[in-house]
Chain A
Amino acid sequence: MTDATNPAANGGIDRRDALKLFGGSALAVALAGCTELLGNGDGDDSSPSETGDGDVPDEPIQAGLQTFREGAPAVLGVQAEYGAETAVRRINENGGVAGREIELDIVEEGSEQLENYQQFVDQGKDVTFGPISSGGHEAMVPEIDDQGVINVATDGTVTTLYEENFPDTTYSFRFQNHDVMEALSAAKEAVEVLGADNIDTYAGVNPNYAFGEDEMALFSAGIEKLTGAEEVYNGTPDLAADDMSTHVTNINSEEPDVVFTSCWGGDATLLLQQAQANDMLDNTELVVGTVLYGSANDYEEGDLEGPIHGGSRNFYWDQPTTDQWTPAADLFDEVQDEYGVIPTAHFMSGYGAVTAWATAADKAVRLLGRWPDQDELAMVLEEHGFFTPAGYHVMSTDHQGYSSAHFGEMAWSDEIGGAILENVNVYAAENVSPPPGTTSLDWIDSW
C-alpha cells in the first residue's frame, strides 16, 4: 500500500500531486475502499500458523462468551455465565493455560449471536464460547468455519445441527449433551420408573420452536420403540407462554401414562404450577422433563408434588455420590459461596465449554512445544477427553460433547432451599446416542 503520509515511501509525491490524483481522479473514487480486496491492505499476510514459532506467547488469552443475561432465558444463561467465570477463575488461579491467563469478556447474546461472534473475531479473540440459543448456533456455524476462530458452544443442542446440517465443520464445537441424549434418557427413565409394559400412552408439551420439535420427535421415536406406546396429545406452547391450561386440560382428558416435556425456564415453572393447580399429576403416572431441573432455583415446594422426574443433562452436583467424587461437592460449595445458587447443567455448559478448550490447548502445547494455531487446536479438540467436576467428557469427531446423563425424581430440599433429584439414574452416553456416522432417528429405528 502506498503510504500517503510518507513522501519518501511513495516516490516523493508531494501534497499537491496527491490532491490532484485523489481529487481529480474517478479511479481514486472507484477504488476507494478496495485496498484490502486488492491485497494491499495493511500488509499483514501472516496466517495463524505463522504466529507460533516455538514459543508460548506471554499475553493473556482473549476469550469471549455470549450468553443470555436478561429476560426469560437468563435462567439458563446466567448459570452458563457463572460456570464459565468459575472455570476461568480456577484455571487462572492454577497458572493459566500453558502459563497464559484467560481474560473473558461476556456479552448478552440477545438475538444477535452471529453479529456477536463477528464482533468477537474483530476484537481479536483467541476463542469464543456460547451461545445458548440453538437457532443462533445454527446461524453461526458456517461463519465460524469462514472466520477460523474456534467456538465452543455452551448449548444450542439441536441434534440435527452436527448430524445432518454441518457434519464437516472444522472450528465449531458444542460442549453440552445434545437433544438425543436427554430425550432418550427421558424415555429410558420412564421405562425404568413405570416398566415398559405399563406405558401404553404418552403425551408431550414442548416449546414451539426447533429445540422443542427436536426433543419431541426423539422422545416419541424412543418411547415408541421401547414400549410400543401411542401418542395421545402433543402440545406446543410458544416460548414465554403466559398460560399452559389448554395443555393441562387436554392431558387431563387423555390421562396418558407419561407426559414428556422439554419446557424450560419460566415455561417449566408455569407448566408445573398449572399442572398442580388442575390435578394433572393425578391423571398421569409420570411427568418426565429434560430441562425441568434447569429451573431448580425458581421452584416453590408445592410445584414439585407428585411423580415428576427431571433430567440434568451431563451434570448433577450429587452424582457420582460425593463420597466417591469430591470435586462435584467442592464445586457446589464454591458456587454457593460465590453466587448463592444451585449450579445446574447450564452452569456446566459454561464451565465445560471453557474447560474443553483450555485442556485441549494445554494438551496441544505439550504435544507441539509451542502455542497451537486454530487448525491444530481444532484437531486436538476432536476426540479430546477431559474431566470436569461432572465427570469425564469426550468431544467426539462429530464435534459434539458426550458424557453421562442424569435423571431422578424431583423433590424439595429445605436444606438447600431449592429442587434436588432423588433416586438418580445415570445413563451412559453410548446408550442414549448413536455411534458416529449414524443419525439419531436412523439409530433409534434400528433398535
Chain B
Amino acid sequence: MTRVSRNGVLAVLAIVLLLAVPDIANVTPLSFSIIHQGILFGMAAMGLNLLLRHTELVSFGHTAFFGAGAYGVAVLTAHYEVSNGLLLLLGAALAATAIALLVGYLVAGYLDIYFALLTLAFNQVLFAFVLQSGFFNYNDGLRVRVGADRPSLLGIDRWLVSTFGADPIVAYDYVLYYLTVVVLLVMVAVTWKIVNSPFGRALDAIGQDRTRARFIGIPVDRYVWIAFTLSGLYGGIAGGLFALLQLHVRPEPVLFVFVSGEILFMAIIGGIGTIVGPIVGGIVLIYLLRLARFYFEYYHALTGLVLLVVVFFLPEGILGSLPTFRAGLERRLRDPTLVRGDAATVSTTIRQRLYRAATTVRILVFGVK
C-alpha cells in the first residue's frame, strides 16, 4: 500500500473513531466526557504546537487564550444573556484573538527563555485579574446558562428533542461533541494547509535561524505575531467549546499557569512533529489528570512517570513514535534475535543514565573538578 493511500485509510479510520466515541464510551469503561475534554485541550495544544513545531518558541502561557475563550462565552451568557451557541463561540474567538494580538505583539521579538517567561507572566496577570474581579465573580466563576437553560447549539439539540423526543441533556452533549469534531477537522485541515504553505515554510525558517530568516527577507516579528495570534485563536475556540461543555467557567481550571504547562505537555506527549499528536496527548493527559485520582493515591507521580517514559523512550511523542515503533516491530517479527539486542540496549541505557545522574550529583556536591 502506498504511503498516500495508507494515510488516507488512517485518516478515515480516525474520523470514524472520532464519530463513534459516544458509542465506544457506552460499551467500554471509557468516559465520553473526559474524551471530549481531552479533545478540547488537545485543540489548544495543537494551536500551541503551531508555534512550538515551526518557530521553536515555547509558550508557558497558552492557557490565557483557552481561558479567554471560555470566559468570552461565560461573560456573554452570564452578563448579556446570549444563548446562541454560534454567537458564543464567536465571542470566544474574538476575546482570545484580541488578547493573542496584544500579547503576541509584545512578545514576538523575544526568544527562548525570555519569550517563555513573558508568556507566563501575561498568563499570570490575566489569571490574577480575573480571580480578583467581581465582574468575573472571583474564583466562583460564571455560569454558562441563561437562567437554568443551556445555550442553544444552532437549534439542532432542541430540534432533536422536539422531533425525536431525545433527552435534552443527551441531545446537548452529543450535538456539542459533533460540533467539536467538525471544528477539530476544520482546524486540522487549516493547520495542514498552513504548515504546507509558504507561510509555514517561513515559520520553519524562523525556527531554524531568525537572523538568516531576516536576511532572506522574512518579516520575522510580524510572522511570529501572526502565528502567535493564530495559535491563540485555536486555544480560544477550544476554550469556548470547553465552556459550553462544562456550563460553568472558573479561573483555576482554565486560566491557571499550571494548565499552560499541561497544554505544553499534551503537545509533547502526543508528538510535536505531528499535526494531530497534540489531540492524542490531550486525551491521554486529561485522562491521567482527571481520572487517575480515582484509582491511585499518588496520581501526581503517575502523571510524572508517564512523562518520563515519553521523554526517555518515545522522544517523538506517542503519535510521532508510531512509525519508528511499527518499523521496529516489523523488523523484530522478521528477525526475533533482535530482541536480545533490545534487552542489552535497555540495560546499557539505564546504566548510562544512572552513571550520568551520579555524575551530576557528584558535580553538584563537589563541584566540577
Interface residues of A (CB under 8 A from B): 29-30, 32-39, 41-42, 105, 107-108, 110-112, 114-116, 118-119, 122-123, 133-136, 138-139, 142-143, 145-146, 158, 165, 208-210, 213, 236
Query: Cβ of B248 and Cβ of A111 under 8 Å apart?
Result: no
Q: Quick one: which of B244-288 are within 8 Å of A by CB? A: 246-248, 250, 252-253, 256
Please report the C-alpha to C-alpha distance between residue A99 and residue B65 in the assembled complex, in whole angstroms. 52
Please report the C-alpha to C-alpha distance between residue A29 and residue B17 in the assembled complex, in whole angstroms. 9
Given A33-B20, A37-B160, residue A142 in contact with residue B174 (CB < 8 A) = no
Query: Cβ of B140 and Cβ of A210 under 8 Å apart?
Result: yes
Query: Cβ of B169 and Cβ of A208 under 8 Å apart?
Result: no
Q: Which residues of B contact A34 (CB under 8 A)?
A: 22-23, 174
Query: Cβ of B132 and Cβ of A208 under 8 Å apart?
Result: yes
Task: Determine, out of B187-195, B213-221, B290-298, B302-310, the stretch whose residues face the partner at the interface.
Answer: B290-298
Instruction: Add 8 more A-B contacts to A111-B252, A122-B33, A143-B247 (CB < 8 A).
Output: A30-B19, A33-B22, A37-B171, A115-B34, A138-B140, A139-B140, A158-B140, A210-B140
Query: Cβ of B294 and Cβ of A119 under 8 Å apart?
Result: yes
Q: Which of B20, B138, B290 has the most CB of A within 10 A?
A: B138
* Secondary structure dominating the interface of B: helix
Query: Cβ of A119 and Cβ of B15 under 8 Å apart?
Result: no
Q: Which of B26, B37, B252, B294 has the most CB of A within 10 A?
A: B294
Partner of A42, one of B26, B132, B256, B294: B26
Please report the C-alpha to C-alpha distance between residue A116 and residue B299 in the assembled complex, in whole angstroms. 14
Query: Cβ of A209 and Cβ of B131 under 8 Å apart?
Result: yes
CB of A235, distance to nearest CB on chain B (Å): 13
- B54: CB under 8 A from chain A? no
Query: Cβ of A209 and Cβ of B139 under 8 Å apart?
Result: yes
Find the A residue at minimum CB distance from B259. Answer: A111
Task: Determine, out of B141-149, B328-336, B356-364, the stretch whose residues face the partner at the interface.
Answer: B141-149
- B349: CB under 8 A from chain A? no
Q: What are 8 residue pairs bridging A and B, where the CB atoms are less than 8 Å apart in the complex?
A: A39-B164, A116-B293, A119-B291, A139-B141, A139-B248, A158-B140, A165-B143, A210-B138
Query: Cβ of B293 and Cβ of A108 under 8 Å apart?
Result: yes
**Complex interface bits, B157-183 against A, C-beta within 8 A gives 1, otherwise 0:** 000100011100111001001000000
Query: Cβ of B138 and Cβ of A209 under 8 Å apart?
Result: yes
Please report the C-alpha to C-alpha distance between residue A115 and residue B148 in the assembled complex, in whole angstroms. 19
Q: Which residues of A contact B19 (CB under 8 A)?
A: 29-30, 32-33
CB of A427, distance to nearest CB on chain B (Å): 26
CB of B57, distance to nearest CB on chain A (Å): 28
Query: Cβ of A105 and Cβ of B294 under 8 Å apart?
Result: yes
Partner of A39, one of B15, B166, B177, B299: B166
Q: Which residues of B contact A116 (CB under 8 A)?
A: 293
CB of B286, distance to nearest CB on chain A (Å): 9
Please report the C-alpha to C-alpha distance between residue A134 and residue B250 in the assembled complex, in whole angstroms. 11
Partner of A107, one of B15, B33, B165, B293: B293
Query: Cβ of A41 and Cβ of B148 under 8 Å apart?
Result: no
Please report the C-alpha to C-alpha distance between residue A158 and residue B137 in the assembled complex, in whole angstroms. 12
Given A30-B19, A37-B174, A135-B250, residue A119 in contact with residue B290 (CB < 8 A) = yes
